[in-house]
Amino acid sequence: MENLIDELTAKNKEYVHAVTKQLMLVGKSDDEVKTILNELLPQIIEGQKTATPARKLLGTPTEFVDQYVPKAAVNKKNSNDKNSNDKPVWMWLDSTLLFFGFIYLVTGAISLFSPKSAQVYGLVTTIIMAALAGLVMYMIYKFYYAQTGERRKWNWKQMLLVVAVVLVWSAFSTFSVLLPRAINPVFNSYITVLIGVIALVVKYLLKRKFHIRSTLAPMSTVQK
Q: What is the pLDDT of residues 50-102, one digit of tens each?
A: 888 888 888 888 888 888 876 544 444 544 455 668 889 999 999 999 999 99
Q: What is the pLDDT of residues 131-171, one digit of tens each?
A: 999 999 998 888 877 765 556 666 788 888 888 988 998 88
Shared domain check, 110 and 215 = yes
CB 5 within 8 A of CB 17: no
pLDDT for residue 105 is more than 90: yes
Shared domain check, 74 and 8 = yes
- 59 dihedral zone (left: phi>0; alpha: psi -120 to 50; beta): left
Give the pLDDT score at 196: 96
Shared domain check, 198 and 142 = yes
Domain with 170 in it: 88-219
Question: Of 47, 63, 80, which residue is a domain's last?
Answer: 80
Closest CA to 218 of 46, 86, 74: 86
Range scoring the smallest mean pLDDT among 39-43, 132-136, 176-180, 214-218: 214-218
Question: Of 80, 97, 126, which residue is a domain's last?
Answer: 80
Shared domain check, 115 and 54 = no
Shared domain check, 64 and 35 = yes
Looking at the structure of the chain, the number of domains it has is: 2
Shared domain check, 135 and 64 = no
Please check whether residue 224 lies inside any domain of the structure: no
Question: Of 46, 80, 114, which residue is a domain's last?
Answer: 80
Shared domain check, 170 and 125 = yes
Shared domain check, 74 and 97 = no
Closest CA to 174 of 129, 212, 134, 207: 129
Please check whether residue 129 lies inside any domain of the structure: yes
Q: Of 41-45, 125-129, 170-174, where does the model show the most confidence? A: 125-129
Q: Higher-confidence residue: 74 or 193?
A: 193
Shared domain check, 106 and 14 = no
Shared domain check, 182 and 96 = yes
Shared domain check, 155 and 112 = yes
Measured between alpha carbons, how far is 48 from 41 in angstroms, rounded to an integer? 11
Shared domain check, 107 and 191 = yes
Q: Quote the pTM value.
A: 0.61
